[in-house]
Chain A
Amino acid sequence: MQERHVAGMMELPERQFGFQTRALHAGARPEPETGARAVPIFQTSSYVFEDPESAAAYFNLQEYGNTYSRIMNPTVAAFEERIANLEVGAGAVAFASGLAAQSSTFFTLLSAGDHVVASRALYGGSITQLKHLFKKLSVELTFVDPDDPNEWHQATTERTRLFFGETIGNPGGNVMDIEQIAKVAHDHSIPLVMDNTFATPYLCRPIEWGADIVIHSATKFLGGHGTSIGGVVIDSGDFDWSNGKFAVIAEPSDAYHGLSFHETFGMYGFLMKLRSETLRDLGGCMSPFNAFLFLQGMETLPLRMDRHVSNALEIATWLEARSDVVSVSHPAIHYRENAGLLEKYLPKGAGAVFCFELHGGRSAGQNFIRNVQLFSHLANVGDAKSLIIHPASTTHRQLSDDELQAAGIAPGTVRLSVGIEDVEDLQWDLEQAFARSN
């Protein structure tokens, strides 16, 4: 039996702290034992229990206690709380990668025979995951035009259990009208799941517009330095899982000795299920060291994002004016006729990843990439350094020509992830690559 503590209250701040303050502090209370100010890396697989009763209480979820680092770890928890706070969610569960976060969310909510409606303009890896993994799991799938709420509505069936889209599409740059699509989802009593990797919570917080679950590849802007692979799922805590469509959350679970996650944990039901069943069973946990690096990265997220978006917009505008460029897919250019959409969802800027198309198709794209010096040719985005890739040969390699077109990718399309270098140096590099390629 633990002694009851009445001293040392952890008070809620009397002030609602700003985003940058929370990016530095949320989730990272000083460590009580040592006073360590940085979040310690708890590099341990397991935790010594006080006594058998405590161990049982932790495993029964009657008490919050560390059991095993596949399921929970204090360093990872600090990262989870920080991103949950920044995304204005009820909580978060971290995973080994963005795709692990995504597949675990789907695995938690879906059963064989269920149906998903997803945006057609997703990251290639997500399209592949949905198409092939779900075929194996007997989950049906319909891709729709992300910009047309009516298509989402028309595609919905009795077995549809979630909508899935990206705040800013990779790499086509479409921006979802989250509020509208969330309304369609809620009219059908199902949740809207949004990937917010490209926007980050600094530029857009989908939960504030009605999204129910938010997923990140933390590998990108959250980490920001290209050091670690990781992902995370944030739940708003607002969706009513007892509405009759989600027996997987609301009914007693055979996988947890008959526990009903919705009744027992209320607004935390989905998160508790995601952690104590799906993460436990599929096992794709985040390492404490990676969580530490993500925490470090997130401290400067607002500073980096401001520079990312201003550099990206300047490069995109500069490219658009060139005669050797067919088109530029930066949202600010793409939505020039519909600026209200960007003003609503992305008032601080529309991210730093966009594409441009070169005359001359596949070989022109590949040739250009051969000639850059400062842009790194690699398959990632969101690094502080500028990155470049040819999607048709790499990230979207598994897609058919029709699917490529639907995702906004031509054979001559080059994708940039604009970093925080001096923008004049980035322009110099692209200029000399154009000169050498011609």
Chain B
Amino acid sequence: MSQDTLFDKVWDLHKVSSLPGGSDQIFIGLHLIHEVTSPQAFGALKDKNLKVKFPERTVATVDHIVPTDNQSRPFKDNLAEQMIETLEKNCLEHKIRFFNIGSGNQGIVHVVAPELGLTQPGMTIACGDSHTSTHGAFGSIAFGIGTSQVRDVLATQTIAMNKLKVRQIWCDNKLSKGVYAKDLVLHIINKLGVKAGAGFAYEFSGPAIDKLSMEERMTICNMSIEGGARCGYINPDEKTFSYIKNKLCAPKNKHWDKAITWWNSIKSDENSIYDDVIKFDASKVEPTVTWGITPGQSIGINQKIPLLDNLSPNDQFIAEEAFKYMGFNPGQSIKDTPVDVCFIGSCTNGRISDLRVAAEVLKDKKVSKEVKAFVVPGSEKVAIQAKQEGLDMIFKDSGFQWREPGCSMCLAMNSDKLIGNEISASSSNRNFKGRQGSPNGRTLLMSPAMVAAAAINGKVSDVRELIKK
């Protein structure tokens, strides 16, 4: 059983009671909500005649259903309009702070909360969205919950949960040029498998993790859930503190020093005990691309799609399903696979640093005529910053469409969808069957730089060859 890790410290601090049966009642320091998984929770409160216990500890934004072309109200899609209206109404009625479109702070919930300084070390953070693990990048314990648990947090500010085990994922050395956090996390998921994280929180540490920026760390923690770990985190350090400093909701003045002292105290102790430790060498990671229908089915850009016999018996079944769905053959390379759509955005890779990296690749180049390419900033703040830096013009000049912030084609709940069996090069997080809006659409996950490279060449490419030139 783990001891003295950040996870243990934060869990114990937030434990309200031991529940009959062995699970714990855990206090949730910050609750984030959006339009898709909250309406039924508010409905349930009403049915049970309950109030929101601490409305000031819940913050809302709208992201999943927002159109990225024309955001004027009412939305063209009646159902989407109904969902945003329901959220507006619920927030107003329960006095919950809501960052709506046009507020300057709307965007994907996992991009917005860190930008506002809401996400801080040592907190427990819950949201009705599996990518809540993103916030673990700040040394918080953050996890996705379902709608019934959203109801519980609204009503009690607590949830019932079994304590997780802790696996340390130690990453040595550093990523080489043209290799990004996305490549590292895809590599880790490939090696450990998509279900290895069940029952675990992942602590990412080691020199390669220390060297990552806060936004890169968010990319890593964001995808913990794709490895089965509901929660992933990184111990806070100077980078964490300087990212938070001066943000809207960051501790100010005399509280700042107190905060730093406390944040330092909740890090995993040097001799803390883990349930499991696994080591990786980050310098060996190549630009990584998925070829299948789970985020674990990936290969380095210069590798071949595995032969069935080279996979463990457990992975063979889903691999066969993937070959059939994707139309790829075992042993074939992924490099040079033609792509139809290129998408840069999502809570995984829709932040300003992601846009900067992609823009650098695209500068003075043109998107292939065969490709539809679009970029969806993760938030209004990201969009404003990108415009100030002229990144929007670089994207537009290259042939990318510049859109308004939202989740967009990561899960295609708005009108941004693949058509038929189109193949997308996507900076998002899931390549599940049908994920990007077409029941037979195909998704290749990769870093934003690799998406930019694919857009230019019209096919899956090694971005390092473009950077060199």
Real complex partners, A and B?
no
Residue ranges of B at the interface with A (Cβ–Cβ < 8 Å): none
